[in-house]
Structure 1
């Protein structure tokens, strides 16, 4: 049987923010699930790092795990702090910038007709 969720321990309580460490000058990611229906990825951003403006084919839920990030959707900035979430709608330009060290869980749901 093919493993669906990878790169993470199973059947034990976890603190997702501790699953990735900050690395100076880098955006670090760890893919947990990647298939045609859903993508789940953990990210850590060093202060000042970013993912530049792009679009996705699915709705993307961002859950802030640590720090503070600036999420820009359709040119509108949104500050996200630990415990807060935002949805970046499919096919809308968006970007992520770390105002300070920032960790997030990204869940993207794709619709296929």
Structure 2
């Protein structure tokens, strides 16, 4: 069974989100599930100490933490710790950064208008 928008994932099967991307020592690993003009969905795993420095995205970005926890800084706000099972939304065109104090996994959904 093939879908129109999702890739790199099995269809019509219950899947464990946090099992679908593996950790790699000293690396950030990503797996793209959807990439269209208006929507991107990507799974990530971060090894302890890895980070993504301050940058911005052209759409609103939702980070759902499926395992562990991450420190996220958005604009001039104080850093927020987002823990397993929780999510945070980062507004379009506002700089943000992510830091892994320990290993963690997340799903990133970016929606552009």
TM-score by length of 2: 0.94
Which of 72, 77, 80 aligns to 2:79? It is 77
Identify the range of structure 1 (57-66 vs 1-10) with the bigger mean alpha-carbon deviation: 1-10
Following superposition, which runs of at least 4 residues in structure 1 exceed 4 angstroms of deviation?
none
RMSD over aligned CA atoms reads: 1.3
Query: Where does structure 2 lack aligned partners over 5 or more consecutive residues?
Result: none
Deviation at 1:103, TM superposition (A): 0.2
Matched length: 111
TM-score by length of 1: 0.94
Which residue in the other structure is 2:42 paired with?
A: 41
Cα distance in 2 between the residues matched to 1:49 and 1:2: 33
Which residue in the other structure is 2:33 paired with?
A: 32
Offset from partner CA, 1:48-100 (integer Å, 9 cap, x none): 00111000000000000001101110132010110010001001000111111
Do the aligned partners of residues 49 and 13 (structure 1) sit closer, same or farther apart at CA in structure 2, a change above 3 Å counting? same
Query: Where does structure 1 lack aligned partners over 5 or more consecutive residues?
Result: none
